[in-house]
Structure 1
Amino acid sequence: MGNNNYQRIIPLLIVFLLLNSIPIDIYLPAVKSIAIDLSTSVVSLQLGIYLYMISKGVGQLLLGPLSDKYGRRPIALFSLTIYTIASFIAVVSINLEMLMASRFFQGFGACGCAITALAIVRDNYNKSECARIYSILSGVQSLVPAIIPLIGSLIVINFGWRYCFLFLMLISIITIIFSINIIPRVNISISGVVDNQSMLSIIINRKFLPYALASVSATAFIVQYAVNSPVILIDIMRLTPVEFSQVFGFNALLIIFFSYWATRVIRKYSPEVACNIGLVFLALMSVLFFFNPTPNNLTTYIVVTSLGSAGFSFCLGSSTGLALSPFSKCAGKASAVIGFLQCVLSSFAGFVFGLFFSEGAQSMSITVFLFAFLSVMTSLLFRKWTNKRIQISST
């Protein structure tokens, strides 16, 4: 199957990535209702986001290599099945522990969908095309927080929070049906050969690590934004679930807008330029939130998070494409490694910093800035090391 024929699979890959975001965004407006129904706190329910992200990250280390070995199709179908079962467990949960277990396994199922989407793109496109397609996928994926929180609010108000997870279960079942008919049984790769590189060799690759850390910085923003927004907007600013959904949706529309311009920058200049622009926006947002972690009005909060949204849009797609570009022969494994780093590092660092810096968005600012800084520093160190090797070899 050639690249032109592969265009028909892109809509399915978009759904795979949407399945990663929907469980977070449909969960946010429901936390108050869940807390009341299960006799727990909103803060306790934030653990569900971290469990979901960590499970996604760890699961990719297992499913990524299996995707290279056995193909994209069986891993996608297995992951969607786990996702469906986990969603059903959430529907019938009677306590916090049962709901948290469902979130953990739902994250495991979602990670296989992400691997399938990233790997199929990397199998069939070059570096610049991958960066552009990843940016497009990220932009389309941003429709989820623009629409799903409002849908979630309406579901909670009219039917109850359990129907949010029933909604996820039905989507995953429909996706299974389409996946059986659309995803090819055999991987179609540019190289046609699977490379058995170790995960460690992928991580320390000089073209991988700096951009992987940049993608972690962008992921940290979106994860921490999801974790902190219900507390800041609902608990502190007293927004209703519908008002919260509107603010969340506006930010998502900004991400779509900035993603469009990111693809223009990638096409006209390079993925590297887009990634650097994103890191600047993320660093600026981090500084502003560090000194004013709990803005006293909604306008200030929206303005500062808009900078983070711009950084996320310019950075995530370009950095992911650049990080995966050296690994055409083991796209599944490389996708798994970057997915693990994005999910686990951003969630773990955010959770730890949240324990010590619990005021407003301060933990978000520290986490995002840390990985942006590490990205720049590793890039400079690798460049210096490469220049030194060139000098030694020329003498």
Structure 2
Amino acid sequence: MLALTSVWTTILLAAAVALGPLAIDMYLPALPSMGESLSAGTGQVQLTLSIYMAGFAFAQLICGPLADRFGRKPIMIGGFLLFAVASVICALATNIETLILSRFLQALGGSAGPVLGRAAVRDIYSPREAAKIMAILASIMALAPAIAPTIGGFMVVGLGWPSIFLALGGYALLMAVVVAVGIPEPMHPKHRQSLRIGSLLKNYRAIASDISFLGYTLTNSLAFAGLFAFLSGSSFVLIDFLGVEPQYFGLFFACIVGGYIVGNLIAIRLGRQLVPDQILVRGLIVSVAGGGLMAALAAAQVYSVWAVILPQTLFMIGVGMVLPQTMAGALANFPHMAGAASALFGFTQMAVAATIGMLVGHFHDGTSLVMATTISICAVAALASYLLLVQRHPAPGFEPA
């Protein structure tokens, strides 16, 4: 077993948490071909994305308290095994209804990685240290989504879309083994919580009534929703509207992920001189600039790949600065029930993202306008949430000196 504070533990946690994003990013190039294969419309195919996010959100409310009672490792391993089984069902689906249902099951298992990865970081580190570690973890974790769409695009062309789900199932099995034999249990025994309904409701009520938690969670959720608006609409905009070949979709997507990694690295560097809230507001301003630029270009009917990719990359630089700070800030007040706090945080994040994704799919007009406008609105709303809530109720230790 590795030491909890070792670099390799952080890397393994990042690899485990990456399963959630991989289940989204790797199959994005396959969305149009899945629709053709299963005789499904754009809205139905996009529902496989939104239903995953909805299941991901609700499952966290369950696995968080379970992890606070039984520990992080057993719940994470069980989630990975469920994800693997659901992935096989996805690969064997012969109609869109079966695929939607199996994606929901996939989400139930996949939720364990991110929610318990965040909780594990809070178990191990203080709030200020956790912000830095989450930025490092996010940078490592982003490497997988950077190459996943490219791999997925070539798999669609060469092997068909079901091969993507088989690959995801294999990755989940591998991560179950890695967590079982490589990572110690991070939760301290004194922090174990009861599973009684009354205790669970009391814990969730205490977390949800914390203004600091609400501020960081809402700011994070809105910024993440802007990212999800891109995920939901990008394959249809880039492949169907702008004519990008599926196997090359991932190369453009890598630019977006590169922006996110740059944002993470900027946050790590600024963390030496600034407190997390100062980094957060700078990231939000960058995101508003990126989202606003994309919306302006789309409104002016400037339709090209780079009119989408470059503004979204700028938006993602800001998101890379925002997400680690808001994650650490949301959990700062709850070291004794980090699993439940992480679960409620993740539920809100995914619920908002799923709603935004469904709206993008419903109002998609065949161009980039709906997607770009939605991203811009999410960025502005995230900044407003910071100014109205976070700035007035910062997490302990996050305030400017």
Q: Same fold (TM over 0.5)?
A: yes
Against the structure 1 CA distance between its residues 277 and 5, is the aligned structure 2 distance closer, same or farther, given a 3 Å change threshold? closer
| Partner Cα distance (1:381, 1:318) in 2 | 16
Q: Which moves more between the two structures, 36-45 or 232-241?
A: 36-45
Against the structure 1 CA distance between its residues 343 and 334, is the aligned structure 2 distance closer, same or farther, given a 3 Å change threshold? same
> How far does residue 36 in structure 1 lie from its aligned partner after superposition?
1.7
Residues 11 and 137 of structure 2 are in contact (CA less than 8 Å); yes or no, is this contact kept in structure 1? no
> How far does residue 2 in structure 1 lie from its aligned partner after superposition?
10
> How far does residue 344 in structure 1 lie from its aligned partner after superposition?
0.5
Work out whether 1:238 is the aligned partner of 2:249.
no
1:9 corresponding residue in structure 2: 9
Work out whether 1:377 is the aligned partner of 2:377.
no
Q: Which moves more between the two structures, 310-319 or 238-247?
A: 238-247
| Partner Cα distance (2:3, 2:72) in 1 | 16
> How far does residue 91 in structure 1 lie from its aligned partner after superposition?
1.0
> How far does residue 194 in structure 1 lie from its aligned partner after superposition?
4.8
> How far does residue 38 in structure 1 lie from its aligned partner after superposition?
0.9
Query: CA deviation digits over 1:354-394, x for unaligned, max 9?
Result: 645753422232234323322321235658xxxxxxxxxxx
1:390 corresponding residue in structure 2: none
> How far does residue 42 in structure 1 lie from its aligned partner after superposition?
3.5
| Partner Cα distance (1:243, 1:150) in 2 | 6
| Partner Cα distance (2:378, 2:364) in 1 | 11
Query: CA deviation digits over 1:303-333, x for unaligned, max 9?
Result: 2112211111000011111111111111100
Work out whether 1:201 is the aligned partner of 2:206.
yes
Residues 283 and 368 of structure 1 are in contact (CA less than 8 Å); yes or no, is this contact kept in structure 2? yes
| Partner Cα distance (1:243, 1:73) in 2 | 37
> How far does residue 192 in structure 1 lie from its aligned partner after superposition?
4.5
Query: CA deviation digits over 1:241-289, x for unaligned, max 9?
Result: 1232111012212221221111111232111111111111222233334
1:90 corresponding residue in structure 2: 90
2:399 corresponding residue in structure 1: none
| Partner Cα distance (1:4, 1:90) in 2 | 35
> How far does residue 58 in structure 1 lie from its aligned partner after superposition?
0.9
| Partner Cα distance (2:152, 2:359) in 1 | 29
Q: Name the Cα RMSD after superposition.
A: 2.3
1:127 corresponding residue in structure 2: 127
The runs of 5 or more residues in structure 2 that have no matched partner are 395-401
Work out whether 1:187 is the aligned partner of 2:175.
no
Work out whether 1:220 is the aligned partner of 2:231.
no
2:163 corresponding residue in structure 1: 163
Query: CA deviation digits over 1:135-158, x for unaligned, max 9?
Result: 112112221232011111111111
| Partner Cα distance (1:85, 1:339) in 2 | 23
2:333 corresponding residue in structure 1: 326
* Local SS of the residue matching 2:94: coil
1:30 corresponding residue in structure 2: 30
Residues 214 and 279 of structure 1 are in contact (CA less than 8 Å); yes or no, is this contact kept in structure 2? no
| Partner Cα distance (1:58, 1:207) in 2 | 22
| Partner Cα distance (1:286, 1:355) in 2 | 20
Residues 82 and 109 of structure 2 are in contact (CA less than 8 Å); yes or no, is this contact kept in structure 1? yes
* Local SS of the residue matching 2:243: coil
> How far does residue 126 in structure 1 lie from its aligned partner after superposition?
0.6
2:257 corresponding residue in structure 1: 252
1:270 corresponding residue in structure 2: 275
* Count of aligned positions: 382
* Local SS of the residue matching 2:358: helix
Work out whether 1:116 is the aligned partner of 2:120.
no
Against the structure 1 CA distance between its residues 8 and 139, is the aligned structure 2 distance closer, same or farther, given a 3 Å change threshold? closer
2:79 corresponding residue in structure 1: 79
Residues 77 and 179 of structure 1 are in contact (CA less than 8 Å); yes or no, is this contact kept in structure 2? yes
Query: CA deviation digits over 1:178-210, x for unaligned, max 9?
Result: 222134357237x75659652132123122111
Against the structure 1 CA distance between its residues 370 and 230, is the aligned structure 2 distance closer, same or farther, given a 3 Å change threshold? same
| Partner Cα distance (1:373, 1:61) in 2 | 27
Against the structure 1 CA distance between its residues 184 and 97, is the aligned structure 2 distance closer, same or farther, given a 3 Å change threshold? same
Residues 135 and 268 of structure 2 are in contact (CA less than 8 Å); yes or no, is this contact kept in structure 1? yes
Work out whether 1:283 is the aligned partner of 2:288.
yes
User: TM-score, structure 1 length as denominator?
Assistant: 0.90
Against the structure 1 CA distance between its residues 122 and 360, is the aligned structure 2 distance closer, same or farther, given a 3 Å change threshold? closer
Work out whether 1:344 is the aligned partner of 2:384.
no
Q: Percent identity?
A: 28
Residues 209 and 375 of structure 1 are in contact (CA less than 8 Å); yes or no, is this contact kept in structure 2? no
* Local SS of the residue matching 1:149: helix
Against the structure 1 CA distance between its residues 39 and 203, is the aligned structure 2 distance closer, same or farther, given a 3 Å change threshold? same
Q: Which moves more between the two structures, 321-330 or 172-181?
A: 172-181
User: TM-score, structure 2 length as denominator?
Assistant: 0.89
| Partner Cα distance (2:290, 2:209) in 1 | 29
Residues 202 and 334 of structure 1 are in contact (CA less than 8 Å); yes or no, is this contact kept in structure 2? yes
Q: Which moves more between the two structures, 278-287 or 17-26?
A: 278-287
Residues 227 and 375 of structure 2 are in contact (CA less than 8 Å); yes or no, is this contact kept in structure 1? no
Query: CA deviation digits over 1:159-193, x for unaligned, max 9?
Result: 1111111101111111112222134357237x756
| Partner Cα distance (2:302, 2:152) in 1 | 26
* Local SS of the residue matching 1:208: helix
Pairing partner for 2:316 from 309, 313, 320: 309
Pairing partner for 2:376 from 365, 378, 383: 365
Q: Which moves more between the two structures, 326-335 or 233-242?
A: 233-242
Residues 353 and 367 of structure 1 are in contact (CA less than 8 Å); yes or no, is this contact kept in structure 2? no
Residues 287 and 365 of structure 1 are in contact (CA less than 8 Å); yes or no, is this contact kept in structure 2? yes
| Partner Cα distance (1:342, 1:119) in 2 | 15
